[in-house]
């Protein structure tokens, strides 16, 4: 019933917007609403570190509200980093963890995020927190090889996730329900270092919704000098889980632990079987 009501309301709003845009005053009001939405921000305080995030919609607002509770293991992992570390945030989304690492541990962060819908919020969040000298946006997806392909997306909302580059499956290994796609250039971690001259990472945080094993495959020489990895893995997606384990061990890592927030244990979706794995040397 909720889905039906939401669909009906969405249809009504879309009709009203389409009608209003036929008139100058309507277009003006629409633009003011859009500009006002994008200017909305929310400040959070985690362990004394204050951050400000752009919250133009409910999803980005949720990411700010759940900052301290959604991935406590990620925050603890960042807290333990040596100051000034080089961090690659692969699948940075709107940059909440990139900003935290930069501000909490004075890290030099490279935020890899290909979604055209997330890039604006990522840039805004970096600017809002005065981190333009510490966080660099890399608006390209990582994979196993340099290639031209499509970024396939299940969501076009600001702050959305569940996208994959060059593959038809999603975070759980199943065929994804694509609603949008656009062509772009994907590269490997080795390409990022050798072609783009990005400094090799001391630490890697990776959440790319299903192709984590491919990114690892294309970065073995980079992984050989990396000190730690936090990577999101779905235990039920056997290909992803097994190959990620293989590549990380070949690169000299030892599995330390896997964790997710306790409330995911009762989740009925794939989140129940998805954990952040922490690997160390």
Q: Is 264 exposed, middle or buried, given 0-12, 13-18 or 19+ CB atoms closer than 10 A?
A: middle
How confident is the model at residue 200, as a pLDDT? 98
Q: What global pTM score does this model have?
A: 0.89
For 206-258, write each residue's pLDDT tens digit: 999 999 999 999 999 999 999 999 999 999 999 999 999 999 999 999 999 99
How confident is the model at residue 268, as a pLDDT? 73
Q: pLDDT band at residue 3, thresholds of 50, 70 and 90? A: low
In angstroms, the Cα distances linking 261 to 51, 58, 72, 164, 212 are 21, 21, 7, 24, 20
For 60-106, write each residue's pLDDT tens digit: 999 999 999 999 999 999 999 999 999 999 999 999 999 999 999 99
Q: pLDDT band at residue 35, thresholds of 50, 70 and 90? A: low
In a domain, 30, yes or no: no
Taking residues 8-30, report their average pLDDT: 62
In the predicted structure, residue 269 carries a pLDDT above the cut 80: no
In a domain, 265, yes or no: yes
Parent domain of 232: 64-280
For 168-193, write each residue's pLDDT tens digit: 998 899 999 999 999 999 999 999 99
* Longest Cα–Cα distance in the chain: 63
Closest to 204 in 3D by CA, of 278, 141, 132: 278
Out of 7-16, 43-52, 263-272, least confident range: 7-16
Residue 240: give its domain's CATH number: 3.40.50.150
d(CA 204, CA 223) in angstroms, rounded, equals 9
d(CA 66, CA 76) in angstroms, rounded, equals 15
Crossing angle of the two packed helices 116-128 and 96-105, in degrees rounded to 10:
30
3-state secondary structure 102-116: HHHHCCEEEEECCCH
For 99-152, write each residue's pLDDT tens digit: 999 999 999 999 999 999 999 999 999 999 999 999 999 999 999 999 999 999
In angstroms, the Cα distances linking 179 to 25, 155, 157 are 32, 7, 11
d(CA 230, CA 190) in angstroms, rounded, equals 19
Select the more confidently predicted residue: 281 or 2: 281
Q: pLDDT band at residue 33, thresholds of 50, 70 and 90? A: low
In a domain, 1, yes or no: no
In a domain, 4, yes or no: no
Say how many C-beta atoms besides its own lie within 10 A of residue 257's C-beta.
11
Helices (H), 159-264: 189-194, 212-217, 220-223, 238-250
Number of domains in the chain: 1
Say how many C-beta atoms besides its own lie within 10 A of residue 121's C-beta.
27
Catalogue the E-assigned strands of 47-153.
Answer: 49-54, 86-90, 108-112, 135-138, 147-153
Q: Using a pLDDT cut of 90, give the percent of the chain over it.
A: 79
């Amino acid at each position: 019933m909720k889905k039906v009501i939401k669909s009906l309301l969405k249809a009504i709003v879309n009709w009203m917007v389409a009608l209003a845009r036929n008139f100058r005053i309507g277009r003006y009001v629409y633009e003011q609403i859009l500009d006002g939405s994008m200017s909305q921000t929310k400040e959070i305080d985690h362990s004394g570190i204050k951050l400000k995030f752009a919250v133009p919609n409910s999803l980005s607002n949720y990411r700010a509200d759940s900052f301290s509770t959604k991935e406590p293991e990620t925050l603890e992992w960042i807290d333990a980093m040596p100051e000034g570390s080089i961090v690659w945030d692969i699948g940075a989304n709107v940059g909440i963890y990139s900003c935290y690492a930069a501000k909490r541990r004075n890290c030099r962060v490279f935020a890899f995020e290909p979604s055209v819908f997330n890039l604006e919020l990522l840039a805004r969040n970096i600017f809002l927190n005065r981190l333009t000298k510490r966080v660099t946006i890399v608006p390209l997806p990582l994979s196993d090889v340099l290639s031209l392909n499509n970024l396939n997306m299940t969501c076009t909302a600001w702050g959305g996730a569940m996208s994959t580059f060059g593959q038809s499956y999603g975070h759980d290994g199943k065929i994804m329900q694509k609603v949008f796609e656009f062509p772009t250039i994907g590269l490997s971690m080795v390409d990022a270092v050798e072609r783009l001259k990005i400094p090799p990472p001391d630490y890697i945080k990776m959440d790319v919704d299903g192709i984590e094993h491919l990114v690892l495959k294309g970065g073995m020489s980079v992984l050989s000098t990396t000190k730690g990895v936090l990577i999101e893995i779905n235990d039920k997606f056997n290909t992803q889980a097994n190959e990620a384990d293989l590549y990380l061990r070949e690169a000299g890592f030892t599995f330390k632990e896997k964790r997710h927030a306790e409330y995911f244990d009762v989740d009925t979706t794939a989140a129940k079987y998805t954990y952040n794995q922490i690997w160390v040397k």
